[in-house]
Amino acid sequence: MKKYFLLPFLATSMLFFAQQKQPKVGLVLSGGGAKGFAHIGVLKEIDKAGLQIDYIGGTSIGAIVGGLYAVGYSGEQIEKIILETDFVALLRDKLPRSTTPFFEKEYGEKALISFPVTKRKIGLPKAVSKGQNMLNMLLELFSETENISDFSTFQIPFFSIATDVETGGQVLLEKGSLPIALRASGSFPTLLNPVQIGDKLLIDGGVANNFPVDVMREKGVDVIIGVDVQGRLYEKEKLTSVVAILNQIVSYKMYNQRELDKNKIEVYIHPDISKYNVVDFDKKIEILKEGDKIAGEYSAILKEIELKQTRKKKRIETDKNIQKVTLSKITINGIKNYSRSYVLGKLNLIQGDRVSRNDITKRIYLLSATKNYEQITYQLKETPAGKTEIIFSLVELSKKPTLEIGVHYDALYESSVLARYMQGGVFTNNDVFSFDAILGDKLRYNLNYFVDNGFYFSYGFRSRYNRFRANTTFNNILPNSPIVNSLNIKYIDFTNQVFVQTTFDRKFALGVGLEHKKLNISTETILENDAPTVLDDNGYLNAFGYLKLDTYDQKYFVKKGYFADLGFKWYLSSSKNNGNFQDFAQAKGTLGFATTFFEKITFQNTNEAGFTLGNPSSNIFDFYLGGYNQNYINTFVSMYGFEFSELGNQSFLKSEFAFRYQFLEKNYFSFIANYARLEDNVLKDANLFKDIKSGYALGYSFDSFVGPLELKFSWSPDTKTSAILFNLGYWF
C-alpha cells in the first residue's frame, strides 16, 4: 500500500528543515540473506528520484549492498552484479576444477561431508565455507577503496555492523579494510567462517543489531529511510513444527527491537517477501521483482524528500576495475610453514607479470585449492616511482586431519560406506596422506601418500586392497573345464606402488614407478577335489609409466574439457612361476572430450584401447568388457549392453558416444551408444569394423547431495538382452 499518509508529515518536516538547513538523509538496510536482494529496488528508485543519500549503514547483506552504493555503484549496477553471481558456488567456496591439484582430481570428490579431527576426537567444522570466494569477490568489487581506511570519506559515508562471538555484543565497523568488514558483517553462522579483526572474532551483525536505526540516528541525520527485509513473528496457528517454534524463539529479540525501531524513522519500507528464506539465492529474480514493486509504491515520498535538497554533491559512478597493471614487486606476509617459492609457485606469479584484478582472483584460486590457507587477501600499492607493488596477506590453516564420509550403491560392490581419513603435513609441509576404508558388502581400502613438490618431481606410495564376488562368463580362463553359463568368482587384489611424478600447469601428470600386485581369484562354480578352483594365486612385479591429462570442468556430469589416461606396464616376474612365467607388457589408454551446445545439451566421447605384448601365463590378464561401473580395477572395462566381464580377449578397441540433456537444474536425460572390438590382436586385421559388439543405454540422472543418482535401461542387439542399471553416490 502506498504510504501517502506520510506525505503531510514529510512536507511539514521538510518545510522546517528548509528554513533551518538542508535535511541530512540516512539510509539503513537490514540483514536478511537472500531476501536482501529486495534492497536493490529501493536503490534504483532513489537513483530515479535523484535523491542524495548523506549516510548509509547496514547489516549483513544490507551492509554489502549498502557498501556498493556508498562507493559509487548505482542501483542498476548492483542488480547486474547480483544477477551475474552464482551465490551457491560462492558460499560453498566451490573452486574451478582447473585449479584442483592432480591428487585431488584423482582421489578427491568422493565424500558427502567432512569433519575435523582434533586430539583424536571428531569435531564439527566452524561453518560450511571458509568464505574465501566471497572475500575474493569483495576484493574485486571494492578495489577503489583498498587504500582508504576511513569509511566516512567514501562518496557516501558508511558503516556496517558485526557481532562479537565472545560477548554477543554489537561491533561498529567504520574503519579498516572495507572488504574484510563486509565479509565479517555477512558471516552468517554455520554458513561462513567467523572473521578475525584485531582481537575480536566476528560473525553476522544480524545477531546483535539487524536493523541499525539507532546507530544511524547517532550520526546526526534528519531523515532516516529504513528498508527492512526481516520476517515476522508467526501466529500460534502457524507454529506447527519444531523448526518453526525454534525460529520463533530466536527471533523474539530481533523482531521486537524492529517494532521499536520502525517508529523512530521517517520512511519505513518493508517488502512482502515472507515466502522467501535467507538461503533462497536461486530465487533472486523473484526477490528483485518484489523489491521493485515495493519501491515503486514509495516513489512519490522519495521524490518529495529530493525536492528539499537544494545543494547536492556530484555522484561519481564507479565500476569494477578491469585495468591491468605490471607487478614491479611481490610482497608476501604471513609465511610460516610454507616458503615464498612455494606460495609464488602456486600463485603462478613472478615479478613483471601484467595482471588485472580478476587475474589475481584466479591466481588466488590456485593457492586456495591447496587447502593450506584460512584467508588470503591482497593490496595493490603504487610506489613513489609510479610502479605497482602487490602485497599478499596470508593466514595459514593448522594441519588438522579430517574425516570424510561418503555413501554408494552399485551392482558390483553393492552397498558401501566410505570413511576417509586425510592429513597434510605428516612428515613434510607439502605432503598429504589419505586412507579410505570402504565398509559394506565388499570390504576394500585405498591408501595414498604423496609429497607434492609442485613443478619439481614429486613422489609417493599407493596401496590398495579390493575384493568382490561376481557372476561372469569368462570361460576362456578355464579352457579345459566344462562349459558353464557363468562362473561365480571371488576376486581379491592387493596392490602396492611406489612412484615419482611431475605435473604441468595442473593439467598434465607424468609418472613412473614399481608395482607389486598379489591376485587371488577362485570360483566355487567348478570344484577340484571338492575345493574351489583357483584361477590365479600369484604375486606379480611390474614397472609402470603413465601420462594423464584432465581438463574436465567437473568429475561428474561433465560439460566441457579433455581427458587422457595412457598407461604402460611391464610385468617382470611372478612369485609362483613354476618355470612357466615369461615377461610381458600391457598398454591401456583412454581419450575423451566433452562439449556443450545450446547450454543444455552435452556431447561426450570416450575412446579406450588395450593391448597385450607377449604371452601372459594366465588369461586373467585379458581385457574384460561389460557392466557400467566407473571404478573398475586392473583390466576390467565398462560397457553398456553386456554383463560384467562378459567379453574378453588380449586386446580391444572401444568407443562410447553419450548425449546428455539437462532439462531441469541437476536433472538429466541421457542416451549412450558404445561399440567395441576384441581380438588377440585387434590391429592385425585391416578391417577394424569387423565383428563389432554394440550396446546402448537410456537413462535419467540426478546430481544429488550424496552424489550422482542414475537409473538406466541398457540393451544389446548382439545378446538380445536388456537390463536395468542403478547406482547412487560418489564412486569410490
What radius of gyration do the chain's Cα atoms show? 32
How does pLDDT run across 366-421, given as a tens digit for each residue? Answer: 899 888 899 999 999 887 777 899 999 999 988 788 899 999 999 999 999 999 99
Determine the pLDDT at residue 18: 47
If one compares 467 and 17, the residue with the highest pLDDT of the two is: 467
Which of 84-88, 247-251, 497-501, 565-569 has the least mean pLDDT? Answer: 247-251
Determine the pLDDT at residue 329: 93
Which residue's C-alpha cell is 585391416?
A: 686
* Three cell numbers written together for 435: 586412507
Query: What's the mean pLDDT in 531-546?
Result: 92
Which of 55-69, 232-246, 313-327, 444-458 has the least mean pLDDT? Answer: 232-246
419-454 burial: b if 16+ Cβ within 10 Å, else e: ebebebbeeebbbbbbebebeeebebebbbbbbbbb
Query: What's the mean pLDDT in 181-188?
Result: 94
How does pLDDT run across 618-649, given as a tens digit for each residue? Answer: 888 999 999 999 999 999 999 999 999 999 99
Q: Residue 83 is which amino acid?
A: L
Query: What's the mean pLDDT in 579-604?
Result: 93
Other beta carbons within 10 angstroms of residue 483's beta carbon come to: 6
Determine the pLDDT at residue 258: 61
Determine the pLDDT at residue 242: 58
What's the CA gap between 372 and 473, in Å, rounded? 49
Determine the pLDDT at residue 378: 94
Other beta carbons within 10 angstroms of residue 667's beta carbon come to: 12
Provide the pLDDT confidence category of residue 16 given band limits of 50, 70 and 90. Answer: very low
Q: Show Cβ contacts of residue 494 under 8 Å, excluding neighbours closer than 6 positions.
A: 464, 465, 466, 517, 518, 519
Provide the pLDDT confidence category of residue 473 given band limits of 50, 70 and 90. Answer: low
What's the CA gap between 81 and 128, in Å, rounded? 24
pTM for the predicted model, two decimal places: 0.77
Query: What's the mean pLDDT in 475-490?
Result: 65
pLDDT over 70 (residue 9): no
If one compares 127 and 233, the residue with the highest pLDDT of the two is: 127
What share of the chain has pLDDT > 70, as a percent? 90
Distance of CA 54 to the CA centre of its chain: 40
Other beta carbons within 10 angstroms of residue 149's beta carbon come to: 12
Query: What's the mean pLDDT in 549-573?
Result: 95
pLDDT over 90 (residue 529): no
Distance of CA 698 to the CA centre of its chain: 28
pLDDT over 90 (residue 200): yes
Would you mind telling me the total number of residues written for the chain in this entry? 732
Query: What's the mean pLDDT in 112-137?
Result: 84
pLDDT over 80 (residue 687): no
Contact call for residues 511 and 496 (beta carbons, < 8 A): no
pLDDT over 70 (residue 321): yes
How does pLDDT run across 689-731, given as a tens digit for each residue? Answer: 788 999 999 999 999 988 999 999 999 999 999 999 999 999 9
The dihedral region occupied by 253, where left means phi > 0, alpha psi between -120 and 50, and beta the remainder, is: alpha
Closest CA to 418 of 401, 429, 398, 403: 403
Query: What's the mean pLDDT in 304-323?
Result: 87
